[in-house]
Structure 1
């Protein structure tokens, strides 16, 4: 039994909207849907979307979450909000009035971030989000229902595409040159600069790039490359690669801004909730709920906590609390940064200490502290963290050379950053890659400091160190 009515939610939503305007947040039109726990579990399985194509992984996610919820092992999220215009968010029917008000305030923070942060505005059109997901779902269902294709073929192809979906360009504000543009850039790189020609006493041989190779430059967009260069794919397979890549493009900004986004929403829900005149009983519950959201996680990293603390520090350092200068700096950073840049710029030595950050590593069966946030090691801790957030935690693999008719097959390169690939995961990745490419695949990497070639073909997986 809830202690609120729809009229209560409408009243407090109006109070929050007035504060949103007063604080000069810039939001899409906001819509809320009140749902029960079963509907929320379904939305969670479909990543918050009211429509999505069918796949076994979504059903597995639903059953896992439902089982853990039914046995009290896991709760449901306070809020779930979609980057769309209008912005859609869900409210759990069984939550208290305080939790509903807190969720509504938190959602407006996310809404403002979605509308203004460059990682979202450069990657998606919020006005088309819901319709695009619905149309994609219809296309996949049409392939499943087609007797010449069927659910088994679609599911197997989706398995491989899902596994490789985030092997794509991750900073989506950077636009990739087309084939002609790449050719021109490679030629310009090979030629001497104009002011160097005068110093050449006689013609010099110029080593020109191989302009026949495909791709001309290593290509990070694996699904799209296979879609465009594997002549044996059927039309429905090309469409599925497009669909899966489009959805990865939608979700990458959320992965890349988790700390900023959750910290921003937490900062503003606190500002709003402490300024709308909550009754004492609701205010007391709010303090408890807020502290649960932004408290540190011992031995781990709570993005709500880190983001909340850093946004407060930015406001204080660049003008002070509630000042025009402090807010202007916050809005500037909210628009221009993603988590890696955000932490590199604002996770200072002082903030590392305040957040009690440290790094650890395994030693046999034990965990040992590797570094603490002191004058000597705080940058080491920050750099370690930068390699573990967002897509930085995922290996970068690019297609370097491709010849579908040759035994050379598809040749990829791993941009090694000091972290070796997990061989088990590498084997699965190459197997999925071979499923999509239809021929032998190779991956150049390093293992224990030595160059290595991993491959997958008709005779199975192989890993060889290069002499």
Structure 2
């Protein structure tokens, strides 16, 4: 069906009114219509109109473009930024119904950004786009500075990217310098021997990471909330028969379960739907405000929902993958706990600072071991980056094959392993 920008404006006003009538509380909403190539670029830059230059963004762009070109993946229907005003992108090649559904979906995200406590405590939506632009301008100034240059900036960015998620995991928690041992970048800034521009580059990556952590911590809730509301809102619209049929198909595509992995749209949608049936509409607004994925799943993923969602746990046995748990007896509790352990920041190894060695100024780190070993190749590469940043040996205490070991990166970035007794 052909449509114009005026048609989109009209539908946008209708959807906004329905969102307000439904009780959603959101920032002013802006939509930008872009091409599929623009969408690939924005996807590489995580939606931001401006980011600092780094090869990883180009790599992400090339990968997405290649997968899309050979029809190995689709593109997101929309992309929405946690900002005030809230900015969202619509692909101009989408059908009219898909644009309508996407706009309703965006208002769900917008409400979530404005009201969920992790975003309220951990981000400043009014300053978000300006922050990313200022960071990009700063990095480009260093790149263009003859006394610094791109290669030196890239070295710092590479290291910062390797350790950027080793930061404060409790959103909104303020700590003193002495309490920052679970924030490796902040610790190196405070106790290392870096030049001022190097500290500034590290702070850029650290602050942008802190901006994204609420999104990592609420992926299931956020997508489930947006899917729940696009479904509710579109069912209130006076859609023609052809648009309604496409709506049902598109919605089912969005929340379709995936074999061997978790579709956050599906799990979140079903959990919010179940909460409203059991406790009423006020409850889901309360949950949307207070929870993150781990607490959301631990509190509200019931045995009945485990069966309905057909959740099970599988693992490796020899060269094969086999089912370990099904939602039978206490199996559903083990499945729920596994999901909690594999969502949000729990997916990322937790490394903290232990001390600075008085003997050789080595930076000693501890891996908070929770039954999952570190990937050796990533671990060794990261230690080499850290050595370059710290300027002295770096030692990591961890477990490999149930043995306590210390992995050392010494002079010339040589890696060695010492078994601890």
TM-score range, shorter chain: over 0.9
**2:313–2:324 CA contact under 8 A, matched in 1:** yes
**1:218–1:400 CA contact under 8 A, matched in 2:** no
Unaligned runs of 5+ in 1: 180-214, 319-325
Provide the secondary structure at the position in 2 that maps to 1:333: helix
Does the alignment pair 1:458 with 2:411? yes
Mapped partners of 1:94, 1:422: distance in 2: 41
Matches for 1:152-231 after TM superposition, within 5 Å: 152-176=151-175, 178=176, 215=178, 219-230=181-192
Give the corresponding residue for 2:274: 313
Give the corresponding residue for 1:367: 321
Q: How many equivalent residue pairs? A: 420
Select 2:211's aligned residue among 250, 256, 276: 250
**2:180–2:186 CA contact under 8 A, matched in 1:** no
Give the corresponding residue for 2:250: 289
Select 1:429's aligned residue among 351, 376, 382: 382
Give the corresponding residue for 1:442: 395
**1:260–1:338 CA contact under 8 A, matched in 2:** yes
Mapped partners of 1:356, 1:38: distance in 2: 37
Residue 408 of structure 1 and its aligned partner are, at CA, apart by: 4.3
C-alpha distance after superposition, 1:133-184 (max 9, x if no partner): 00000000000000111101111210110110000011213332x25xxxxx
Give the corresponding residue for 2:119: 120
Residue 218 of structure 1 and its aligned partner are, at CA, apart by: 6.8
Matches for 1:55-74 after TM superposition, within 5 Å: 55-74=54-73
Single out whichever of 356-365 and 80-89 deviates more from structure 2: 356-365
Mapped partners of 1:66, 1:419: distance in 2: 33
Provide the secondary structure at the position in 1 that maps to 2:182: coil
Select 1:276's aligned residue among 237, 262, 281: 237
Q: Taking structure 2 as the reference length, what is the TM-score of the superposition? A: 0.97
Change (3 A) 1:290 1:434: same
Matches for 1:1-400 after TM superposition, within 5 Å: 3-176=2-175, 178=176, 215=178, 219-230=181-192, 232-318=193-279, 326-400=280-354
**1:118–1:173 CA contact under 8 A, matched in 2:** no
Residue 366 of structure 1 and its aligned partner are, at CA, apart by: 1.5
**1:161–1:436 CA contact under 8 A, matched in 2:** no
Mapped partners of 1:428, 1:114: distance in 2: 35
Provide the secondary structure at the position in 2 that maps to 1:107: helix
Residue 406 of structure 1 and its aligned partner are, at CA, apart by: 4.4
Mapped partners of 1:277, 1:218: distance in 2: 55
Residue 327 of structure 1 and its aligned partner are, at CA, apart by: 1.4
Provide the secondary structure at the position in 1 that maps to 2:371: coil
Provide the secondary structure at the position in 1 that maps to 2:87: strand
Residue 448 of structure 1 and its aligned partner are, at CA, apart by: 2.3
Provide the secondary structure at the position in 2 that maps to 1:219: helix
Mapped partners of 2:172, 2:153: distance in 1: 31
Provide the secondary structure at the position in 2 that maps to 1:306: helix
Greater C-alpha radius of gyration: 1
Mapped partners of 1:291, 1:336: distance in 2: 28
**1:349–1:375 CA contact under 8 A, matched in 2:** no
